[in-house]
Amino acid sequence: MATMSSVLPRTRSRVRPALHRTVRPGAGPQLILRPWLRAQSINVTRHAAALRPFRREEFGTGAAAPSESHIQAVNSLIKGLRRGLIKLSKTVTKAIDQAGEQLSPPALERAVTEKDRAHKWVQGIEKIWDFYFELFGQRQSMPYAEWLLSCDRIALNCYQIAFTGIGTAKSIPAPPPFCFMRTGFAPATMRRGIRLRRLGRQFNPFPLVQLPYHRLVNPWTLGAVLHEVSHNLQSELGLSKPVPRSVAHRLLEADLGRSVAATWARWNREMFSDLSALLLGGPEVVGSLMDVVGRAPSLVFGFNPHGVHPTPYLRVLISVELLRRMGFVDEADQYRRAWTRIYPNPRAGNVPEKMLETFPQACALAVDAMCYQPFKTLGNKSLTQVLRFERKDQQMIEEAARRLAAGVDPGVVPERFLIGAARIALDRRLARPGAITENFYKELVRR
């Protein structure tokens, strides 16, 4: 039997050569560098494989899940970028193989430089993948999925009325707008086909409507959906350039001054969206607008010489002017009186005197130019002819309000009209706010 003393020397003789090998001159860098370089090649390849296209079923199978067209649009964006990453990963692998053979500083520098390029590409795709993964993932939890589905249906209804109302054939936009939830005060939109910083300056494949949580829990404030969708409609109906040109021309023709005309032209996008929302949803949209801009007087009377939003005090009065032109004279007068009772002195802020002096005439001309004059891109129709809203439509909204409050089927009322119906039910105390909210979403989800 071997003794401990006879075993120890043999054990030491086996360990000693290994220790010598790890410190042999020139061996250390090779033992570290070659496995490390190989790992970099593997990392890049696996990154490319992991940033896979989405599958529709992974976000649920119900009506609230992202549509096949939304999934395909995002996957097309990801696949295009992923092809570039796969091509780049081959360059990285080649540079790493050469560096592993040579282990020279120039070869190693080329390898890490190519690796860095691939890493930045991975980060760019991950940014896009994460963005849409979060958006689509919101459709898996209740009640948010049903809230967002309801807003999708309102947005789709706006597109349907616009593209069936125009006087000329246009290519059908697809996919339709997609709503998502974000915390914060103000809603927002990201238009189709524009480069987004959130997407690493890639083109946005479909309209996105961002809605704060507090809007979704109070559906009578969702005039915001109509406003944000209208930003997209201005672009997709080809009105981005004709509208500001028309407004500026009318004000210059009336000799109101270049600075006044330039200001109103700069306001055109936000003004268009306010007025389009009013035509889509009816008088109660003015109340929803007041929800947004009815804040401290210092803000309401605050004029921004470079801002794209009309001064809040004037913004409500612009919608009131359109409401009057639509034939809702009494309602327009009531809103005007209420607004000026809250904010009686517009000269308390920094609105230029020239803007206040010319406002009545400039407002009437701008509303007429934007809403009542024909545009070639609309088939020589005006906006009010495309988005028709008449007294009969308001009667439909009021009847829907009573039904919504009672929890019965509101009938064939268009989706966009349910916002006004919820507002009337709330303002007239036809039901508790919680019941109005529940019935509002129940009706939109069942469609």
pLDDT at 419: 97
pLDDT at 9: 40
Residues 119, 121, 126, 131: what is their CA dihedral angle, to the nearest 10 degrees? 150
pLDDT at 88: 74
pLDDT at 184: 62
Please list, in sequence order, all residues whose beta carbon lies within 8 angstroms of the beta carbon of residue 80, skipping any fewer than 6 positions away: none
Question: Of all helices (H) and strands (E), which one includes residue 427?
Answer: helix 417-427
Q: Give the residues across from 105 on adjacent strands.
A: none
Give me the helices (H) in 23-104, please: 27-50, 68-102
Q: Give the residues across from 25 on adjacent strands.
A: none
Using CB atoms within 10 A of its CB, is residue 139 exposed (0-12), middle (13-18) or buried (19+)? buried
For the chain, state the CA radius of gyration: 31
Helices vs strands, H then E, count in the chain? 19, 5
Residue 305 in tokens: 């010489």
Residues 326 and 389: beta-carbon distance below 8 Å: yes
- Catalogue the E-assigned strands of 187-308: 188-190, 195-196, 202-203, 208-212
If you ran DSSP here, which 8-state letter would residue 218 be given?
Answer: S
CA–CA dist 188, 309 (Å, integer) = 13
pLDDT at 27: 54
CA–CA dist 154, 88 (Å, integer) = 43
Residues 226 and 159: beta-carbon distance below 8 Å: no
CA–CA dist 73, 61 (Å, integer) = 18
pTM: 0.84
Residues 234 and 269: beta-carbon distance below 8 Å: yes
Please list, in sequence order, all residues whose beta carbon lies within 8 angstroms of the beta carbon of residue 253, skipping any fewer than 6 positions away: none
CA–CA dist 394, 282 (Å, integer) = 7
DSSP state letters, 165-181: HSSS--PPP-S--EEEE
* Averaged pLDDT, groups of 10, the chain, 447 residues long: 40 41 55 80 74 81 88 86 76 80 82 78 79 87 91 96 95 93 77 79 87 92 95 96 97 95 97 98 95 93 95 97 97 96 94 96 98 97 97 97 95 96 96 96 93
For the chain, residues classed under CATH 1.20.5 are: 31-140
If you ran DSSP here, which 8-state letter would residue 241 be given?
Answer: T
Please list, in sequence order, all residues whose beta carbon lies within 8 angstroms of the beta carbon of residue 160, skipping any fewer than 6 positions away: none
Residues 271 and 224: beta-carbon distance below 8 Å: no
| Architecture of the CATH domain 31-140 | Up-down Bundle (1.20)
Using CB atoms within 10 A of its CB, is residue 212 exposed (0-12), middle (13-18) or buried (19+)? middle
Using CB atoms within 10 A of its CB, is residue 169 exposed (0-12), middle (13-18) or buried (19+)? exposed
